[in-house]
Structure 1
Amino acid sequence: MSVSYIPEKTKVRLWGKAAGRCQYKGCTEPLWYDGLTKAEFNSAYIAHIVADKPDGPRGDIERSEILKQDISNLMLMCDAHHRLIDRQKVDEHSEEVLLQMKKEHEDKMELLTSLTEDKQSHVLLYGANIGGNKAKLSMDEAIQAMLPNKYPADKNPIELSLSNSSLEDHEEFYWKMERMHLQRQYKDKVEPRLKITVNHMSVFAMAPQPLLIELGRLITDIQPAEVYQPHRDPDYWMWEADEETFDYQIIRPEIKSEIVALNISLSASIDNSRIYDVLGGNVSIWTITIDSPYNDFLRSREQLQKFREKFRKLMNAIKKEHGQHSEIHLFPAAPVAIAVEIGRAWMPKADLPLKVYDQNKLNNQFEYTLEIN
């Protein structure tokens, strides 16, 4: 424990850098009030990284005297973690470990306190059962993905998920119920707030692709929003730097027919024979794909924007080729963010209606689910 006098100005600076919270990694306990009784008082300890005495924890015969009042050697801590680093587990808390904790905490507090109003974003969470699996969405993971570009405008997310649903996506009633619930939740929870408080939304969704497309249709591209993508390796939602050079490829149909299909082969390849099995052999099949479709290819904002641009051009080309009275049978195998962006990019007054299909694992084939019109 510290025995040295620390100037009041140094204490105030340390409190400011720590934002009044424990600087032990993962703690951030507020040190100006008691969470149980709500009584306000100073419960902080000022800990030395290099002890103020040579025989103290991490002490040094020369540096202890030099650093005993230096703010770079001081950390604000709760009682439990002060005791942990100085008494109970000294060997596990080297100077290097504590300096890294201090840096990470102070960098984070500086970032959070410098955020301006234009970086506020309301977190929207939407999940629906995928087969027998329930969607798992976390506000903490959402915040991690948003920072430092955006930060939550509210501590509570806008939650659109249907809780405790026992329906699975191979059941016919599933699509009608989930779509109706999504539309009503959006109308009740989102639309009123768009008129008053919501200037930007950060969208985190896990659901069968037809419902993700419907969610995108509800949001539209008029409403400022950013759609995030869950990654499998590593397991998080953060966008990465755009390092991979690739483009989306458009494959035109081999025949011209009154029946038009769009094959989106991105997270997996959909063989055209599977579309013929549903619609018959006389179909004009347009395809948008990449060189090697796989389920974790979408890593950056730039890749998502490139898809949006390509999709808009494709909608115009299909309408020009087949006429304004046609409709598009949509067979998607796409990352969740792209599925949402399909709905956002689709223009109700300009584009052809979309009849959306989904893979029914029980029947091992695509089946019609809903129409975007």
Structure 2
Amino acid sequence: MSETVVPTHIRCMLWGKAAGRCQYRGCNEILHIDPNTKSLMNRSYIAHIVADSPGGPRGDKVLSPKLAKDISNLMLLCDTHHRLIDVNDVAGHPVELLQAMKQEHEQRIELVTQIQEDRQSQIVLYGSNIGDHSYPISYERAVVALLPERYPADSRAIELGWKNSLYNDHEEDYWKIENENLKRQVQSKLMPLLTSGARRHISLFALAPQPLLISLGTMLSDIFPVDVYQLQREPVQKWGWDNESDDIEFHIQSPEKIHRTVALNISLSATIENNRITEVLGENVSVWTLTIKNPNNDFMKSKSHLSAFRQTIRKLMDGIKSVHGQDNRLNIFPAMAVSTAVELGRVWMPKADLPLVIYDQNKKTNKFELALEIYKNNEVVLQGNAV
């Protein structure tokens, strides 16, 4: 038996390194629970590799007193293996073997306990002028939305938009300039971090015209892990999600007649009358509608709402393609939340889905006008020019 009283702080350190389990190779028995009654109890023994007295198991005149309280010379063992190495088979357990067992066990515990979910997230801000309004996005407001589920990976956000852009969405070159700027910034600022593994998660805060948000979604796709946040307007304006919200039910209305030309009316944040679509595309158009019971600009409240939208729009795009054929184009007229616009782009699959022809409400003409066309190779076309 040991003659040395091992200090409490050394005992605690050994328990931590061993994770409360027997360090004998192949045992790993947990030592703070009775295996039969499951009662909490201390069943551990602290054994010396080199005995704390020269006459003990593996004792040494020089090393025994020197290593008596040294954690490198101590093992946490169950009763069975404590007796085995010190009484029943001392010769079969030389110093080198026990040191190897201790090292193997502690290295394995260190490796396993280092495994954790990476909670860091790169904050990405994207804003563009909407009508006469600039975007209310800031790094500080984004951090508040992240915590406590995640925390910022950097002290600054990656900004993709032009804060002080002098262009507005009713101007002729607006879509071309803004989308090209967005594309270049994603490729230069964001993609190198994602493809290199320097950032494993993105938290996106975006407020821009819906065609640009959809385009951004197609650039990010659903290959990369991205949390898309929503600006809540009521009861207090903030970025984030409500954990306690009612379920949302999306309704799909199919067209009465099937024509070659097909459109998707997304009436979520407001109601779009079909005559506004036929005014643009003509009478011979099949209009599919995605809506909710009471369309409003604050309907998207929780992550579960966004997940339900993703599932619904994914099935809807598959259904439209099966009815209208894969050599067609899908004309989209959106009135939706910013987060759903981004997610529409993210779930769109370039090789499988119909090309997207996206329209936007022009504030000056009060009509829907063509903004962007996104094709199967993820090429964006603006007013007939490939970008």
TM-score (normalised: structure 2) = 0.66
**Native 8 Å contact 2:120 2:150 kept in 1:** yes
Which residue pairs with 2:341 in the alignment?
Answer: 339
Shift of 1:140: 1.0
Q: Is the 8 A contact 1:355 1:371 kept in 2?
A: yes
Q: Is the 8 A contact 1:260 1:329 kept in 2?
A: yes
Mapped to 1, the partners of 2:363 and 2:334 lie a distance apart of 15
Query: How far did residue 161 of structure 1 move?
Result: 1.0
* Residue of structure 2 equivalent to 1:140: 140
Asked whether the equivalents of residues 205 and 228 of structure 2 are also in contact (C-alpha less than 8 Å), the reply is yes
Paired position in structure 2 for 1:257: 259
Q: Which is higher, the Rg of structure 1 or of structure 2?
A: 2
Offset from partner CA, 1:261-317 (integer Å, 9 cap, x none)? 000000000000100110011100001000000000110000000000000000110
Contact 1:304 / 1:337 at 8 angstroms: preserved in 2?
yes
Aligned position for 2:65: none
Q: Which residue of 2 aligns with 1:223?
A: 224
Residue in structure 2 matched with residue 93 of structure 1 by the alignment: none
1:77-135 deviation digits (Å, cap 9, x = unpaired): xxxxxxxxxxxxxxxxxxxxxxxxxxxxxxxxxxxxxxx66110000000001011111
**1:287 is the counterpart of 2:307:** no
Count of aligned positions: 258
Give me the whole-angstrom Cα distance separating, in 1, the residues matched to 2:197 and 2:337.
Answer: 32
User: Are residue 367 (structure 1) and residue 369 (structure 2) matched?
Assistant: yes
Letter in 2 for 1:292: N
Q: Which residue matches 2:159? A: 159
- Which whole-Å CA distance do the structure 2 matches of 1:156 and 1:170 have between them? 32
Query: Residues 118-267 of structure 1: matches in 2 within 5 Å?
Result: 118-194=118-194, 195-233=196-234, 234-267=236-269
* Distance in 1 separating the partners of 2:359 and 2:172: 12
* Cα distance per residue 1:171-200 (max 9 Å; x no partner): 120000000000000000011111131100
1:217 alignment partner AA: T
Q: Which residue of 1 aligns with 2:270?
A: 268
Q: For the residues of structure 2 that align with 1:152 and 1:217, how far apart are their CA atoms?
A: 24
What do the CA deviations read for 1:340-363 (whole angstroms, capped 9, x no partner)?
000001000110001000000100
Structure 1: unaligned runs, 5 residues or longer: 1-115
Instruction: Find the counterpart in structure 2 of residue 353 from structure 1.
Output: 355
Query: How is 1:307-322 mapped onto 2 (pairs within 5 angstroms)?
Result: 307-322=309-324
User: How far apart are the structure 2 equivalents of 1:243 and 1:209?
Assistant: 25
8 Å CA contact 2:356, 2:373 repeated in 1: yes
Offset at 1:242? 4.2
- How far apart in 2 are the matches of 1:341 and 1:160? 17
**Structure 1 moving runs of 4+ over 3 Å:** none
Secondary structure at the residue paired with 2:284? coil
The CA distance in 2 between the partners of 1:341 and 1:242, in whole Å, is: 22
- SS of 2:231's partner is coil
Letter in 2 for 1:128: S
- The secondary structure found in structure 2 opposite 1:192 is helix
Could you tell me how far 1:136 is from its partner in structure 2?
2.0
- Percent of counterpart pairs with the same letter? 51
- The one-letter amino acid of 2:170's match is H
SS at match of 1:172: coil
Q: Tell me, which stretches of 5 or more residues in structure 2 are unaligned?
A: 1-115, 376-387
| Contact 2:127-2:163 within 8 A present in 1 as well | no
* Structure 1 residues 163 and 241: CA distance shift in structure 2, 3 A: closer
Root mean square deviation, CA, Å:
0.9
Query: What is the CA–CA distance in structure 1 between the aligned matches of 2:197 and 2:232, rounded to whole Å?
Result: 33
Q: 1:316-371 CA distances to partner (integer Å, 9 max, x unpaired)?
A: 10000000101000000000000000000100011000100000010010000001
Tell me what 1:23 maps to: none
Letter paired with 1:290: I
> Are 1:242 and 1:303, in contact at CA under 8 Å, matched by a contact in 2?
no
SS across alignment from 2:290: strand
8 Å contact 2:215–2:345 — kept in the other structure?
yes
Letter in 1 for 2:146: M
CA contact (8 A) 1:242 1:301 kept: no
Q: After alignment, is 294-303 or 134-143 more displaced?
A: 134-143
Q: Shift of residue 152 of structure 1?
A: 0.4
Q: Which amino acid aligns with 1:139?
A: Y
2:245 and 2:352 map into 1 onto residues whose CA distance is 34
Cα deviation for residue 163 of structure 1 reads 3.6
